[in-house]
Chain A
Amino acid sequence: MSAQGNGAVRFDGAADNRRSGGVSKETINAIVVFALSIVLILGSRFVSPALGSWSQVLTVLTLASFLIVVSFGQGLVVMIGGLDLSIPAVITLGGVLTAGWVGAGNAGAWYLLPAILALCGLVGAFNGFGVTVLRIPPFIMTMATSIILASAALGYTSGTPRGASPEALTVLMKTSWLGVPAVVFFVVLFVLAGWALQSRTVFGRRLYAVGANPDAARVAGVSVGAASTLAYVASAVCAGFVGMMLVGYANGATLRMGDSYMLPSIAAVVIGGSSILGGSGSFVGTVGGAILLTTLGTVIAAIGLEQGWRTVIEGGIIVAALFFLREELFARLRRPGRS
């Protein structure tokens, strides 16, 4: 799982496979994931007549917006062969500070919100420092950060976060323009910007290079440490922003508000077609993964099963999605002649 060293050398073979057919595989994967979401939404009409409507689509997109933003950050880190387990703790940090420092109204929001995001970015820089300079495996480094932050947030709030949502965030999360929630417009812009950053900028190409083979990237003149650290910073800033969005949505912060995003953020990236080993994947696929997971959640919730069975189905679907999206299957699709 290490971004540097052993991992890359051991997985040279795998990395080669991925590069040879990368783009086409990722495109197919993204299309499949989006198609599945659409089929699921249309099919949900059979479950309940209230489903499958335009308003349900908007609900799904609103709920998916949180996951899309965190998964962008997680995707960048997975891209370089890392993993960010500190996301839930940073979401909580962003939320707790937003509710606590800014609170209801808009007083000071214009400088406090950016300051909170910068603080979250510092947490990401700490992760990046540990992984690139101290060479601690990403899994452990971000886990340690997560444990530290969660404990700090617990101590800071003495167990009960206070405060309410700033007006600016309430506007973003609760108002609609032309019948479409404002946050949906925001997420569309975010996806476009994220896609451009990841696939159309030098920074994005460098992340692919670092993930595919850090040694080769270094030889090619990429500053591996700086690129990797920036990925962790971006991930933490995204997580901190989701904390703010959640405060706007729920009008308050809790200490566990981030917990339900850690595993889905990884699942969205993997279902979206990225290899957990790095060097492959596209943000569009990840967005599809996030929408698919959220659609599933709402459809399953509507079936009216008890919580336990809903969870069982959710888990089963993740495994099934992985099974149908695995690389061998794509290899066979592309070259029907070879078995």
Chain B
Amino acid sequence: MSAVGTVHEGAGSRRGGIGRALTGGAAIVTLLYLVLYLLYALWEPRALSAYTFTSLVNNSAPLAIAAAGETLVVLSRGFDLSVAGVISLTNVFMAVWPLEGPGGALLSLLGCCAIGAVVGAVNGWLVAVLRLQTIAATLGTMIVCQGLALVVLDAPGGTVADWVSYELTDSLFGIVPIAGLVVLAVALVWLVLLRTNTGVGLYAVGADEQAAMLSGVSVRRIRFVAFMGAGILYGVAGFMLSAQTATGNPNAGAPLLMLVFAAVALGGTSLSGGRGGMIGSIVGAGTLMLLQKVLFSGGVSSFYTGIFQGFVLIAAILFGRAVPRLFGNGAQR
């Protein structure tokens, strides 16, 4: 496979426009999700119960929202490591200052979003204005956030407000998981964003920064918005994680770092920017979490879950590349 071929492929998919970029990766990972769920139902008859589904969605929601945020940055051709820091920081914020009742929950959510927005703005400033390398700059902010989380809470402990940990992990009418509604809301905001100039600019900057600049896109503004939006979503992810774990841990975000990138990649978003979308990342996150359950119900020791996650990730990338070729897009090579 020649590198020249790769270039053509890149150009071809850009011509294909946002519509295809959206559906391509997301469709494959959705198919994968359904197949896995079928396996799960075969091995574990309880898989089809509302309770199992709710707990699955609850488990996946934090990773899904964090991956959705990361997608914004990856689409604009960057990497954001601060996701781990923001989740840890918001988690200890929730555990150290629990606010009861629906009003308290809303206030906590706003607080989490504000923390994420501040970190995102710092990232955006470092990357868009000072032009530092994204991976290195966000490495710095991630470490700072981890440190701040340790300052707030130096060992695992604390309790998240009961209202948050009960209501947000519950389900509506016994069938619709609340956490799922939150993820759905994120997805809807994304679909609206796609119709705006910012949404289009995100893909343009990620695909070809120079071309985007020449056609009048403010690269600086797009980069800044991407990091800030991502930060806010990490805040929401930290909020949902706190609801799930009901306690604080200054290292809560660290285990999610790799999984976030795995979910984004699994969802069909190109890690070199310009192609993919948030829907794929959300389903990708769900798939990674579902895989754990499927393996467990299939009798695989939880020690070995990672081996499967790793190979599924590689297979999904190869499969995602092979499918468009089967449907005629390969003609150009």
Contacts and interface: CB of A to CB of B under 8 A. Distances in A.
A318 B145 CA distance: 13
Contacts of A328: 131
Contacts of B7: 5-6, 9
A308 B147 contact: yes
A215 to B, nearest CB: 5
A241 to B, nearest CB: 23
B8 to A, nearest CB: 10
Contacts of B310: 144-148, 151
B261 A319 contact: no
Interface stretch (A26-34, A45-53, A134-142): A134-142
Interface stretch (A59-67, A154-162, A179-187): A154-162
A144 B311 contact: yes
A159 B304 CA distance: 11
A157 B131 CA distance: 44
A218 B3 contact: yes
B317 A308 contact: no
Contacts of B126: 319, 322-323
B150 A307 contact: yes
Contacts of A141: 314
Contact of B141 (A145, A155, A215, A315): A315
B271 A140 contact: yes
B209 to A, nearest CB: 8
Chain B interface mostly helix, strand, loop or mixed? Answer: helix
Interface residues of B, number: 55
A311 B306 contact: no
B272 A148 contact: no
Contacts, number: 174
Interface stretch (A36-44, A103-111, A263-271, A279-287): A263-271
A314 B317 contact: no
B6 A135 contact: yes
A309 B151 contact: yes
A163 interface: no
A83 B136 CA distance: 12
A326 B130 contact: yes
Interface string B305-317: 1110111011001
Interface in A284-312: 306-312
A301 to B, nearest CB: 13
A1 interface: yes
B135 A276 contact: yes
Contact of A139 (B140, B261, B305): B261
B23 interface: no
B133 A275 contact: yes
A7 B272 contact: yes
A151 to B, nearest CB: 3
A197 to B, nearest CB: 25
B149 interface: yes
A6 B273 CA distance: 10
Nearest to B77: A10
A152 interface: yes
B329 interface: no
A4 interface: yes
B306 A148 contact: yes
Nearest to A10: B208
Interface string B275-289: 000000000000000
A208 B264 CA distance: 30
Contacts of A7: 272
A150 B271 contact: no
Nearest to A217: B3
A311 B272 contact: no
A236 B314 CA distance: 19
A310 B147 contact: yes
Contacts of B64: none
A227 interface: no
A304 B304 CA distance: 41
Nearest to B210: A13
A104 B227 CA distance: 50
9 contacts: A130-B314, A136-B314, A139-B265, A147-B258, A148-B310, A152-B306, A218-B3, A307-B154, A323-B126
Interface of B: 1, 3-4, 6-7, 10, 79, 81, 126, 130-133, 135-137, 139-152, 154, 208-210, 250, 258, 261-262, 265, 270-272, 301, 303-307, 309-311, 313-314, 317-318
Interface of A: 1-2, 4-10, 13, 83, 85, 130, 134-137, 139-141, 143-148, 150-152, 154-155, 158-159, 214-215, 218, 263, 266-267, 270, 275-276, 306-316, 318-319, 322-323, 326, 328
Shortest 10 CB-CB contacts between residues of A and residues of B: A151-B306, A311-B147, A315-B143, A5-B6, A308-B150, A308-B151, A312-B147, A148-B310, A315-B144, A319-B140
Given A4-B3, A5-B10, 9 more contacts: A1-B271, A10-B208, A136-B314, A140-B313, A159-B303, A308-B147, A315-B143, A318-B139, A328-B131
